[in-house]
């Protein structure tokens, strides 16, 4: 990823993985981590780059690049989504796999961390072209994914349908129905009830818990959500159901702000029908950047990385930031928020609801026994609130941020597994 250096024609390379390591280092210093262990944890176990040749509908052949990074296996099989986006790079996928390692550990799941992606713009592709890319992606990875190896899931621009194609391609190759190879599948082929809503639901569960501690009454609390996909759309609806006033929503087409409140469910129906919020009339249109700076109680970045950065952090007026997206806050912005008394619930805790229900899905697939939605949601709430309470206890007793506390808990759990298993040589 690169950004223009203001006032010049120069371009500054910005490593997402580099930023991710910066957060890790803060917590590692507090844990007095052994340098050898630290070296293991700051190197991905395996990075795979491969070509995806595919046929366009018009008969022409194109070649895209696919990635899968399996960051760490100390606590179990790698786990993490697959992203289809023009901005996908090895650096970004590595950072996302790194975060998955800590996210799974923060909520105490028996998984390591992984992530994948294809550098492509799905808006320029037909469904049959996307299916061919997805199946080729899965076929290239047949030897290294599987229920006990690496379990992908949806991420930006991938859906339960993509997971169905991956599950089918993998099952055809291994000659055995293998629903547990991916999570986030449609219900009919081994998906879990509650999985689609789980990340957004989790965002609202931890946010409401923190709002109670801060004395912010949900009734009338002003909430802004950036990104209106699987995470942002559901989170907005859950905040509204809890009595909050959603005053801003946005997607790639722009932001829509209405201080009297936006009907999140209506906006979701609009976005579903029109495939985006373009033309939505429930709020005044502005840029995504401007919306982030509107005064509110809770700000939920739920789109892409680095949207809260050194350029805008000092103008953010939220009381609480709940990171629905992965990596939306740069380390520089994080320090400004700490200085300004803005509380941040970090991505690896705030959006862990998705991987938690993915874990439930994997368990259900392996048992061939499927739970009712109320049971999934109750277990999700228990996992998130129990582990958030652990972070809060450490953050308060040591006077550190939730982010540093989350990394400390996660690193400690991974290191314990690593030490028990030992370094095989
Ligand atoms: P999605 O594809 O369903 O939705 C992404 C949303 O972001 C869309 O509304 C899109 O229009 C918007 N968007 C894209 N680029 C934007 C931009 N430049 N400015 C403003 N909005 C923009 O994806 P998702 O699954 O909701 O994922 C969103 C974030 O949450 C990602 O960071 C992802 O890694 C993270 N996440 C997703 C899950 C999950 O279960 N889906 C779990 C944990 C974390």
Using one digit for the tens of pLDDT, what is the confidence trace for 101-150? 999 999 999 999 999 999 999 999 999 999 999 999 999 999 999 999 99
Residues within 6 Å of ligand 1 by CB? 154-157, 199, 226-232, 250-252, 288, 302-304, 324-326, 351, 354
Determine which one of 79, 103, 115, 185 is catalytic. 115
Stretch 372-379: mean pLDDT: 98
Residue 261 above 90 pLDDT?
Answer: yes
Which domains occur in the chain, in start order? 44-177 (3.40.50.10860), 198-350 (3.40.50.720)
115 a catalytic residue: yes
Distances (CA, A) of 42 to 60, 72, 198: 41, 10, 29
Residue 12 confidence (pLDDT): 40
Check if the beta carbon of residue 311 is closer than 8 Å to that of residue 334.
Answer: no
CA of 155 to the centre of ligand 1 (A): 7
Q: How far is the CA of 7 from the centre of ligand 1 (A)?
A: 31
Pocket test for ligand 1, best of 229, 288, 359 (most atoms within 8 A of CB): 229
pLDDT at position 15: 82
Residue whose C-alpha is closest to residue 226's, from 251, 208, 244, 205 = 251
pLDDT exceeds cutoff 50 at 169: yes
Atom 32, ligand 1: residue with shortest CA distance: 325
* Atom from ligand 1 closest to the CA of residue 276: 11
pLDDT at residue 5 tops 80? no
Mean pLDDT, rounded, for 171-175? 98
Whole-number Å distance, alpha carbon 328 to ligand 1 midpoint, is 11
pLDDT (tens digit per residue) in 181-237: 999 999 999 999 999 999 999 999 999 999 999 999 999 999 999 999 999 999 999
Distance CA 424, CA 77 (A): 17
What atom of ligand 1 comes closest to residue 303's alpha carbon? Answer: 7
Q: Please tell me the distance between residue 366's alpha carbon and the centre of ligand 1 in angstroms.
A: 29
Task: Answer for the pair 80, 158: CB distance below 8 angstroms, yes or no.
Answer: no
Cα separation, 254 vs 273, whole angstroms: 17
The per-residue pLDDT for 2 is 46
Question: In the prediction, which pLDDT does 19 show?
Answer: 79
The percent of residues in the chain predicted with pLDDT above 90, rounded, is 93
């Amino acid at each position: 990823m690169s950004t223009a250096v203001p006032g010049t024609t120069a371009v500054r390379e910005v490593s997402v993985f580099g930023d991710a390591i910066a957060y890790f280092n803060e917590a590692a210093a507090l844990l007095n981590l052994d340098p050898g262990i630290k070296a293991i944890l700051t190197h991905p176990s395996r990075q795979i780059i491969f070509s995806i040749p595919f046929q366009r509908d018009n008969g022409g052949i194109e070649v895209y690049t696919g990635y899968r990074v399996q960051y760490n296996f100390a606590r179990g099989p790698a786990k993490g989504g697959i992203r289809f986006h023009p901005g996908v790079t090895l650096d970004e996928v590595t950072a996302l796999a790194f975060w998955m390692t800590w996210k799974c550990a923060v909520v105490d799941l028996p998984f390591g961390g992984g992530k994948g992606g294809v550098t492509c713009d799905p808006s320029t592709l037909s469904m049959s072209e996307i299916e061919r890319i997805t199946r080729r992606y899965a076929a290239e990875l047949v030897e290294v994914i599987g229920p006990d190896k690496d379990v992908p899931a949806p991420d930006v621009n991938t859906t339960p349908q993509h997971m169905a194609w991956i599950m089918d391609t993998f099952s055809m190759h291994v000659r055995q129905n293998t629903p547990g190879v991916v999570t986030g599948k449609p219900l009919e082929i081994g998906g879990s009830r509650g999985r689609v809503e789980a990340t957004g639901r989790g965002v609202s569960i931890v946010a409401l818990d923190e709002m109670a501690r801060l004395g912010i009454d949900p009734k009338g609390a002003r909430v802004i959500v950036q990104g209106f996909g699987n995470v942002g759309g559901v989170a907005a609806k859950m905040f509204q159901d809890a009595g909050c006033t959603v005053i801003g929503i946005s997607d790639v087409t722009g932001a829509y702000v209405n201080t009297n409140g936006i009907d999140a469910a209506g906006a979701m129906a609009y976005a579903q029908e029109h495939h985006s919020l373009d033309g939505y009339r429930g709020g005044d249109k502005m840029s995504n950047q401007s919306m982030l700076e509107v005064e509110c109680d809770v700000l939920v970045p739920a789109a892409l990385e680095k949207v809260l950065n050194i350029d805008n952090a000092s103008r953010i007026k939220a009381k609480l930031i709940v990171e629905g997206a992965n990596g939306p806050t740069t380390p520089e912005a994080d320090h400004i928020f700490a200085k300004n008394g803005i509380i941040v619930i970090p991505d690896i805790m705030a959006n862990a609801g998705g991987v938690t229900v993915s874990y439930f899905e994997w368990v259900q697939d392996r048992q061939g026994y499927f739970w009712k939605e109320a049971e999934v949601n109750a277990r999700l709430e228990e996992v998130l609130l129990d582990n958030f309470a652990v972070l809060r206890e450490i953050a308060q007793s040591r006077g550190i941020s939730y982010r540093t506390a989350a990394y400390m808990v996660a690193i400690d759990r991974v290191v314990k597994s690593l030490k028990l298993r030992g370094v095989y040589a």
